[in-house]
Amino acid sequence: MRREVTRGLWVAALASASACGPRVQGDAASRTLPWIVGAWHHIESGATTEEQWVAAPDGSLLGTGRVLVRGTIIGFSETLHIGDGPGGLTLTTWVGGQEPVHFVADSVTADTATFRNVRHDFPQVITYRRTAEGTLQAKATGKNPDGSPREESWTLNAGAPPQAPPSPEESQGPTP
């Protein structure tokens, strides 16, 4: 079941990336950021944040992100695309049916990529960093609606999250 859901998310990501965003060509993303490819997760306060990235045939990177509680998406899912755009290497995000937002890379090193869009409210800056320990740190900074600064960050572990044990109600099975 989980494999079918993941496969469905990738089909949706591919369809969204080809239908909603600018046509991105080239292979700079997969050559520049190979360390982002894979499954990543962060578990905190009963919620699981997941990101998954794959290299597309054209060399760009396609990703999905979501937050789940007990296996159910809770209000946040996104489709991501990193590829060559008019302004250079560009991260495009589609969150919950909203218009795509484009962030242009302003700093890329062997283990860090920072994307910026100062015209967007939150986030305005998205940074991914691969650590020596093998985790992926993601940070989003920008402004709240009242103009005050806002920052969110996550340390994502490699691989799929561990399966949660069933609740007592689920483990008892159906009542005869």
Digitized pLDDT (tens) for each residue of the chain, 176 residues in all: 444 434 443 333 433 343 333 333 334 688 889 999 999 999 998 899 999 999 999 899 999 999 998 888 887 889 999 998 888 999 999 998 889 999 999 999 999 999 999 999 899 999 999 999 999 999 999 999 898 999 999 999 999 888 755 555 544 545 45
Asked if 139 contacts 122 with a C-beta cutoff of 8 angstroms, the reply is: no
Domains identified in the chain and CATH numbers: 2-161 (2.40.128.20)
What amino acid is encoded at 30 in this protein?
A: S
Sign of CA dihedral 98, 121, 30, 48: negative
